Amino acid sequence: MFDLKSPIDKLYLVGPARAKLLKHLGIETLEDLLFYLPRAHHDLSTITEVSALEPEKFSNVKARIVSVKSFRTRIRRITLTTATVEDETGQVNCVWFNQPYLQKTLKAGEVFIFSGKVTLSKGKHQMQNPVYEQEKTEQVHTARLVPFYRLTASLTQKTLRTIIKTYLDKAHVPEYLPASILSQEKFLDEDRAIKSFHFPNDWGELRRAQKRLAFDEIFLTQLRVLRYKKMRQERKSHQVRDRDDVLPGKIGSLPFELTGSQDSALKEILDDLSRPYPANRLLEGDVGSGKTIIAALAMWLAAKNGLQAVLLAPTEVLAQQHYLSLLKLFLNDGMDLGLVTSSQTRLNGNPVSKDTVLAHIETGLTRLVIGTHALLDKKVKFKKLALVVIDEQHRFGVQQRSALKQHSNAHLLTMSATPIPRTLALTLYGDLDISILSELPKGRVKITTELVAEDKRDLTYQFIEREIKAGRQAFVICPLIEESDTLGVKSAQAEFKKLSETTFPHLRIGLLHGKMKPADKEEVMRKFKDGETDILVSTSVVEVGVDVPNATVMMIEGSERFGLAQLHQFRGRVGRSTYQSHCFMFSDDPKAHDNQRLTAMVQSSNGFELAQKDLQIRGSGDLYGTTQSGYGFKVATLSNLEAVQRSKGYAQDILDNDFEMKKFPLLRGKVMAEPEIHLE
**Who contacts 663 (Cβ-Cβ below 8 Å, separation ≥6)?**
none
Provide mean pLDDT across the span 71-90: 89
Structure confidence by residue, pLDDT tens digits, 231-274: 777 888 899 999 888 999 999 998 888 999 999 999 999 999 99
Q: Which domains does the chain have, with CATH numbers?
A: 46-143 (2.40.50.140), 247-437 (3.40.50.300), 448-604 (3.40.50.300)
Please say whether the beta carbons of 273 and 411 come within 8 A: yes
Residue 398 has pLDDT above 60, yes or no: no
Nearest to 217 by CA among 200, 197, 199, 245: 197
Residue 3 has pLDDT above 80, yes or no: yes
More confidently predicted of 405 and 540 = 540
How confident is the model at residue 185, as a pLDDT?
94
Nearest to 48 by CA among 61, 35, 39: 61
Provide mean pLDDT across the span 45-66: 92
Q: Are strands 345-347 and 111-121 parallel, antiparallel or unpaired?
A: unpaired
In this structure, of 63-77, 110-124, 385-399, 604-618, the range with the lowest mean pLDDT score is 385-399
More confidently predicted of 467 and 427 = 467
Task: Please give the share of the chain, as a percent, with pLDDT higher than 90.
Answer: 52
Other residues' Cβ atoms within 10 Å of the Cβ of residue 424: 24
How confident is the model at residue 353, as a pLDDT?
95
Structure confidence by residue, pLDDT tens digits, 144-196: 999 999 998 889 999 999 999 999 999 999 999 999 999 999 999 999 999 99
Dihedral of the CA atoms 408, 409, 415, 418 (nearest 10)? 110
- 396 — pLDDT class (breaks 50, 70, 90): low
In this structure, of 260-269, 302-311, 604-613, the range with the lowest mean pLDDT score is 604-613
| Gap between the Cα atoms of 255 and 329, Å rounded | 10
Provide mean pLDDT across the span 21-42: 92
Residue 410 has pLDDT above 70, yes or no: yes
Average pLDDT in the chain:
87
Residue 678 has pLDDT above 80, yes or no: no
How confident is the model at residue 544, as a pLDDT?
61
| Gap between the Cα atoms of 153 and 17, Å rounded | 12
Residue 483 has pLDDT above 60, yes or no: yes
How confident is the model at residue 121, as a pLDDT?
84
Collapse the DSSP code of 207 into the 3-class scheme (helix H, G, I; strand E, B; otherwise coil) and give the result.
helix
Which strand (E) or helix (H) includes residue 80?
Answer: strand 79-87
Provide mean pLDDT across the span 543-567: 86
More confidently predicted of 407 and 656 = 656
Residue 488 has pLDDT above 80, yes or no: no
Please say whether the beta carbons of 160 and 151 come within 8 A: yes
Q: Are strands 366-371 and 551-556 parallel, antiparallel or unpaired?
A: unpaired
Which of the 8 DSSP states describes residue 491?
A: B
| Gap between the Cα atoms of 379 and 359, Å rounded | 10
Which strand (E) or helix (H) includes residue 541?
Answer: none
Provide mean pLDDT across the span 504-526: 89
Collapse the DSSP code of 198 into the 3-class scheme (helix H, G, I; strand E, B; otherwise coil) and give the result.
helix
How confident is the model at residue 435, as a pLDDT?
86
How confident is the model at residue 621, as a pLDDT?
61
Structure confidence by residue, pLDDT tens digits, 281-296: 888 887 778 899 999 9
Provide mean pLDDT across the span 295-303: 96
How confident is the model at residue 445, as a pLDDT?
83
Report which residue type is found at 238: H
More confidently predicted of 545 and 461 = 461
In this structure, of 81-90, 393-402, 522-531, the range with the lowest mean pLDDT score is 393-402
How confident is the model at residue 676, as a pLDDT?
40
How confident is the model at residue 170, as a pLDDT?
92
Report which residue type is found at 459: L
Collapse the DSSP code of 656 into the 3-class scheme (helix H, G, I; strand E, B; otherwise coil) and give the result.
helix
Q: How far is CA 423 from the centre of its chain?
A: 8
Instruction: Calculate the alpha carbon distances from 195 to 147, 181, 551 in Å.
Output: 11, 20, 60
Residue 407 has pLDDT above 60, yes or no: no
How confident is the model at residue 572, as a pLDDT?
87
Structure confidence by residue, pLDDT tens digits, 321-377: 899 889 989 988 888 999 999 888 999 989 999 999 999 999 999 999 999 989 888
Structure confidence by residue, pLDDT tens digits, 570-592: 998 898 888 999 999 999 888 88
How confident is the model at residue 460, as a pLDDT?
96
More confidently predicted of 396 and 203 = 203
How confident is the model at residue 620, as a pLDDT?
63
Residue 508 has pLDDT above 70, yes or no: yes
**Who contacts 420 (Cβ-Cβ below 8 Å, separation ≥6)?**
393, 394, 565, 611, 614, 621, 628
